[in-house]
Amino acid sequence: MTEFQDQLRLKLSDIRKDSKSSGAFYPPTGIAEVLSIDAIRNCVFTIPHLNDNPRDIQRFATLIRETCIRIFAILLVNRDEEHITEFLFRRENDSRIPYTETGLYFFRDRNILIARRFVASQQEFDPVILKKGDIPRLLRDREVLPFLEDREVGHGAFGTVYKVVLHPTCQELVATRNGEVAIARKMLPPGSSAKEGNILDLVGTLNHAHIVEYFGSYTIKNVTNLLFSYVPINLREFLNTRPFSDPDIIFDSLYGLSDALGKIHTFFFKDVTGNVEISRIGYHHDMRPENVLVQGTTFLITDFGLSELRADDRTSKTRLKGGDDDYLGPESFNAVELCNGTVGRALDVWAFGCILLEIGVFIQGESVEEFRATRKDDITYGNSTITDCAFHLNGRLRPPVEKKLLSLEESENLQLKDYAALIRTMLDPNTNTRMKIQQATPKLGLIAIDSKVEAIHRQFRDVSYDKENRKTDTHKFILLEWACFKAWQSIFDAALHLDEKQVLMATIIPCLKKLESILQNRLRMQEQDEGKENPRTSEDKEVVESISLAVESLCRTVPTKHKQVLNDAWTHLVCDVDDIEILEALASAPLPDRYREVGIDAAKAFMCRVISDSIRAGRQDRLLVEGSVKLDNPSAMQQGGAEGPSRVLGFYLSQRVMIEYKAYDHRWTNDPGKEIHRTMNALVNLLDPEQTPRQGITRRRVLDCVGYFHEQQKCRFGFVYLLKNEKEIDISKLELFSLNHVIGMTQDAEATRRPNLGDIFLLAKELASCIHALHKVGWLHKKISSHFILVFSPDEAEAHEHVASAVLAGFDDSRPEASSVTLGPRAEYEHYQHPAYKQSVAFRKPFDYYGFGVVLLELGMWTQLSAMRDMAMQENPNNVDKKQFQQTLMKDYVDQLGERMGRIYRDVVEFCLMADDLVLEDAATDFQCDDLFKANVVDLLAKCFA
């Protein structure tokens, strides 16, 4: 059995490590691996008084393993393992280590040598376990630190820095999986005060990602050591070696660095209970590239040897105690008294501005060391001359510094221009007007956001739909997310106030970084799949979901008041895609809930483009088979509300339908006839929800078109619309009336035959929303009037009760806004048309607003426009000009709406009738037209209730 114990001793000697601080040590985990329960049981088997029976052997082995494994290891290495009984019977355990000879009283007399061997070797079995929060830990002179490497990497006036490699199981500082654990140790000069450690304890409460992590401190042999995370490269080395140079990453990290410095300048800590609050005025006073570490892509502030956190009722002003001359401001030296000057927090701002300028040189691809050399100059103070590479001379910026600043200011890169302007305010020689760090931080944040947004646009461009190599639904969805991202950017840039941006900055930047990371991974996966016959698709769903979540998190940062504007902007950006093939791809993609509305609008926009292109490129023929549409008896066509032969009810494949006719010139028979056929096909596709999906208001207020038929002898087309069930009314018994007809037959009747005010408001609201939705996708109606707002009712007497469910019709003259086709106003409805609309004038959105305004006026006054026209002619027979009639409406009728319908309704009508003048005056774009209509019509009508 002695041979077995020798093997254990050999295994223990194998795990023994040399400490670079003092002596050697046995890692606790190594001891536990060697002295397994079986190994201890085999040893106990040979020890008298413990091996009386097998049950006792197992019990004692377990007790040793759980309570005094290190004591047993010490005895085993000293070949005294049989004396473990002395410890067990006295209930001694590992927590008593280190023992003194006095503590081992039970080994006196004849066994005193056992006690001396134990005391001499026990330190190796009890190495220091470094833990976070040791503040400070006082170590005994003989304690062993588990340093596998302890190499000097830097030296300064306030301490020496070492790279320390710890045994991974002898520390609780850094999470590791059996890899190398490196930390930084700053050894302070003997006799140094505990000030730096105290400051680090407070600064550590900030948990700031851009302040080097402080683990704690220990003191041994009267020397204090501070422990930090180890970062092998500082900013000076980074600028010389260029491990990366992406401006968006650099600006982002500089923003974080500035924020960290700001938190030090105005330090505040409140514990989780709220019972402890600490407020301080702080400064660093040694900001320079060597004291900024670069961990991955993150810049970290380090070295707080000159720092101080003062009570907030004191000033930050103090006599300069040190620092790097190259990065000190003009105030750092008193040239009159030839001594260090009085400095405050502004000194940090100057130094940080110097660092920013060197990084600007770096971003431009130039050498920072060469820039440093150009700054080198001699300065004479009395009889002394010094040479430095500072950024100022005689109270002004040195010429090389001014030259570099001008170079940045003249850059074509907008972020660098803003960056240069910021640096100039930070390098103000006058400390009273020099920018404060709290002012610089949000400016750096905006630069970081702009730069990050540019980088994300480049990534989206490389991973979204492109018609050639990237054509799957995944690529289409990514293109939609890109449009949503652009919409978010438009709101952030144009709609948010600077104060709002500053508040949201801390939330937005992490969202942008997350999105950038996802897109980078997608691009990496795409590059790996390039050239493969079967690229990976299993991860496509997860990619789209992650991109969607990242973009949605950005959109959630937009204040509620701007949410609808963001959604509208998203729709506009999708619908304004120049390439019709891409628009068609978006329109044809399957529509998860997130994309449903914008995808539907994309489909509408696509069909609008198709109408423009249909003359040159035919699409699916929507011409119905002759005889498939059965019209009601001719007498039905002449019933009061049917407006003569322009509309009629009938059946199509047993479904109740309305037919709306469009006549054409009999001379259009050959080629022009083919052209108009193609136009009719595209128009039907727009109004068919199977081809062009729609939802919400447009589903309720626009009938579904199933096709058209051609009556060549009568030179007309008939558009076929399905009727919908309303309020459980038998649609086979419905009659058709125009709103104009309903108003005409009840305008002189008693009030009980008029619609409820609430029904009028409902119709006005939803028609406004419907027009807005059509305009958003570039579609112009061109014939809005009460003649083309249709009411379906079982009979004429009840027609006024069904006004609330009226639908918008008359699309036969409609065209996409981009179409060059314009037929001029139709004579029979000319007074619903804007006075400026003429044969040679292209139709525009405000012309639709005018027609809608006239309809609202008819609803509000419950009087036909023709009656208003007749009244005007009676008062002034010469009043035949449309412009004069517009003025008559404004003067004689609009003003009356206030008392009838309320101020809001009156203001809406006034806007609609005068919208074209407002748009021309402001030179509004299409997008702005939509916004004006929404704000002055849709949103205002939404407030009308009765």
Looking at residues 172-187, what average pLDDT do you find? 84
CB 704 within 8 A of CB 689: yes
CA-nearest of 124, 132, 128, 150 to 140 is 128
Annotated ligand binding at 403? The verdict is no
* pLDDT digit string, tens, across residues 494-528: 889 989 999 999 999 999 999 999 999 988 888 87
Does pLDDT of 427 surpass 60?
A: yes
**HSE (side-chain half, CA atoms, 13 Å) at 534:** 1
Q: Using the structure block, give the residue that is written with the tokens 């009980």.
A: 752
Write down the pLDDT at residue 750: 64
pLDDT at 577: 66
Report the distance separating Cα 912 and Cα 894, nearest Å.
Answer: 11
Q: Residue range 339-344: average pLDDT?
A: 86
- DSSP states along 153-193: EEEETTEEEEEEEEPGGGEESS--SSS-EEEEEEEPPTT--
Write down the pLDDT at residue 27.
94
pTM exceeds 0.85 for this model: no
**Is the pLDDT assigned to residue 385 strictly greater than 90?**
no
Q: What percent of the chain has pLDDT over 70?
A: 84
**250: phi then psi, degrees, rounded to nearest 5:** -65, -45
Mean pLDDT over residues 190-206, rounded? Answer: 85
Distance CA 679, CA 237 (A): 68
Residue 195 vs residue 601, higher pLDDT: 195
Task: Read off the pLDDT of residues 102-120 as tens digits, 9 standing for 90 and up.
Answer: 999 888 777 899 999 999 9
- Spatial distance between the Cα atoms of 886 and 915, rounded to a whole number of angstroms: 12
- Residue 403 predicted with pLDDT over 50: yes
- Residue 261 has what pLDDT? 97
**Residue bearing the bigger pLDDT, 634 or 334:** 334
pLDDT of residue 821: 45
Domains in the chain with CATH codes: 1-127 (no CATH), 130-230 (3.30.200.20), 245-449 (1.10.510.10), 466-603 (no CATH), 618-733 (3.30.200.20), 743-785+800-807+814-945 (1.10.510)
Does residue 829 surpass a pLDDT of 80? no
Looking at the predicted structure, is the pLDDT value of residue 643 above 50? no
Residue 42 exposed, middle or buried by CB count within 10 Å (0-12, 13-18, 19+): middle
pLDDT higher than threshold 70 for residue 646:
yes
Give me the numbers of helices (H) and strands (E) for the chain, helices first please.
33, 33
Q: Residue 804: what residue type? A: A
State the pLDDT at residue 6: 92
* Confidence at residue 260, expressed as pLDDT on a 0 to 100 scale: 96
* Lowest-confidence segment of 374-383, 577-586, 610-619, 677-686 by average pLDDT: 610-619
Does residue 243 have a cis bond before it (omega within 30 degrees)?
no
What's the pLDDT at 674? 60
Tokens standing for residue 183? 């930390």
State residue 715's pLDDT score: 78
**Interval 308-323 mean pLDDT:** 81
Q: How many CB atoms are closer than 10 A to CB 679? A: 19
Specify the pLDDT at position 638: 38
How sure is the predictor about 586, in pLDDT bands with cuts at 50, 70 and 90? Answer: low
- In this prediction, residue 163 has a pLDDT band, given cuts at 50, 70 and 90, of very high
Q: What is the mean pLDDT of residues 810-834?
A: 65
**Can you give the pLDDT at residue 775?**
83
Confidence at residue 512, expressed as pLDDT on a 0 to 100 scale: 96
Per-residue confidence band for 887, with pLDDT thresholds at 50, 70 and 90 = confident
Strand partners, 793: 735
CA dist., res. 832 & res. 850, Å (int): 7
- CB 833, CB 847: distance < 8 Å: yes
Q: What is the mean pLDDT of residues 901-922?
A: 86
- State percent of the chain over pLDDT 90: 44
SS3 content of the chain, % helix, strand, coil (to 5): 50, 15, 30
| pLDDT(603) > 60 | no
Q: What is the pLDDT of residues 64-114, one digit of tens each?
A: 999 999 999 999 999 999 899 899 989 999 999 999 999 998 887 778 999
924, pLDDT greater than 90:
no
Average pLDDT over residues 274-280: 82
Please list the alpha-helical segments (H only) found in 777-881.
845-861, 865-875
Q: What is the mean pLDDT of the chain?
A: 84
